[in-house]
C-alpha cells in the first residue's frame, strides 16, 4: 500500500503516511482518504518520511487538500521530508502555503 491513513478522532487530525512514491498512483487513495465525501478534519499531517520521489500530481493533490481544508485557514503540516523534497516544496512556494517540519 502506498498510503497509510490514521484519524485521531479526539483531535480530529488526519495523518497520511505515504510510501516511496508520492505520485499519480496514489491519487485515488489520497482522494478517498481526505477529499471525496469526507468533511474536512480540523488538521492534517502529511508524513513524507518514506517518500523518495514526488511528481507534479503530488503537488496538485496537496493543493486540493488545502482548498478542501479551508484554504488560508487550513492547518496542514508536512513532516519528515528529506532535504531534496523540502527543496522542491520550497521552490514551488509550498513553504508559504503549508507548515514544513
Note the pLDDT tens digit of each residue in 25-59.
999 999 999 887 778 999 999 999 999 999 999 99
The pTM for the full model equals 0.93
> How large is the average pLDDT for residues 67-73?
94
DSSP state of 101: -
The alpha helices in 27-79, defined as continuous H runs, are 27-34, 56-68
Crossing angle of helices 27-34 and 56-68, in 10° steps, is: 10
| pLDDT above 80: residue 65 | yes
Considering only CA atoms, give the Rg of the chain.
12
Task: For residue 96, give the C-alpha cell.
Answer: 508559504
> Residue 1 has what pLDDT?
56
pLDDT digits (tens, 9 = 90+) for 79-99: 999 999 999 999 999 999 999
Kindly tell me the burial class for residue 24, based on how many C-beta atoms sit within 10 Å of its own C-beta (0-12, 13-18, 19 or more): middle
Amino acid at each position: 500500500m502506498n498510503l497509510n491513513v490514521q484519524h485521531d478522532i479526539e483531535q480530529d487530525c488526519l495523518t497520511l503516511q505515504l510510501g516511496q512514491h508520492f505520485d499519480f498512483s496514489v491519487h485515488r487513495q489520497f482522494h478517498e482518504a481526505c477529499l471525496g465525501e469526507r468533511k474536512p478534519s480540523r488538521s492534517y499531517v502529511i508524513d513524507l518520511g518514506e517518500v523518495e520521489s514526488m511528481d507534479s500530481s503530488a503537488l496538485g493533490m496537496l493543493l486540493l487538500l488545502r482548498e478542501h481544508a479551508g484554504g488560508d485557514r487550513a492547518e496542514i503540516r508536512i513532516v519528515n521530508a528529506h532535504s531534496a523534497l523540502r527543496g522542491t516544496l520550497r521552490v514551488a512556494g509550498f513553504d508559504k502555503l503549508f507548515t514544513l517540519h
